Structure 1
Amino acid sequence: MGNREKLAVIWSSRDKDVAEKVVLMYTQGAKMKGWFSEVVLIVWGPSTKLLAEDGELQEKVKGLMKSGVKVQACSVCAGEYGVAEDLEKFGLEVIPMGEPLTGYLKEDWKVLSF
């Protein structure tokens, strides 16, 4: 795979098994094994609430961030669930995601959603 390929993973599922066994595992592999030069994890919709309430998942996401994965959360979604501050407290970039996602799509990033 090319060194300049970029991946945006959209995590919207509230299912913890999907988070642990698919989303976070693949995202980590994509970054750590160099499958993509840049990897962004977008926390969107119900996953914002799941992440805000689950310390175990928070630790896994912190590990992704330490490995170089950029993690962004949708501020509108987080606001609807009342968890924006909780996500910001442990270092997530909580922003309106419509425009950044549109940019990823227009810049020809590979986009994967769960």
Structure 2
Amino acid sequence: MKLVIVWKTANEIDINNFVVPYAYNSKKQGWFEDVEVLIWGASQEVVVNNSIVKQRVSNLIKNEIKVFACKMCADNVNATDVLESIGVKVFYTGQYLTDQIKDKDTEVIYL
């Protein structure tokens, strides 16, 4: 089964104590076969402006967790170039998210 985490919080306590650790451990502990993170909205600004969070996102990617970002959101907050530079795939995510929600073998959670 696949886990998709829609990460929308800009709260750094939640990011550092729940979003990133849960994504990482879901993959490393084998809780889910595949783990994907979709960075949406205000969370993109945190990734761009906080070097620790940026490094943690980069580490997720290095540990075989796919990390995506909504292009519309990224363009609106001038985050596209920075996100792409750390390995985040930036694209228009409406269809992707809809497909994940409809997939019976995928669990989508919003954090």
TM-score, normalised to structure 1, is 0.93
**Which contiguous aligned blocks of 4+ residues in structure 1 show a shift greater than 4 angstroms?**
none
What's 2:107 paired with?
110
Match of 1:95 among 70, 82, 91: 91
What's 1:66 paired with?
62
What's 1:42 paired with?
38
* Deviation readout 1:72-109 (Å, 9 max, x if unpaired): 00110011111111111111100111111111111121
Gaps (5+ residues) in structure 1? Answer: none
* CA drift at 1:53: 1.0
* Deviation readout 1:24-51 (Å, 9 max, x if unpaired): 0111110000000110000000001110
Paired amino acid for 1:79: D
Tell me how many residue pairs correspond in the alignment: 110
Q: d(CA) in 2 for partners of 1:113 and 1:68?
A: 20
TM-score, normalised to structure 2, is 0.95
Aligned Cα root-mean-square deviation (Å): 0.8
Gaps (5+ residues) in structure 2? Answer: none
What's 1:15 paired with?
11
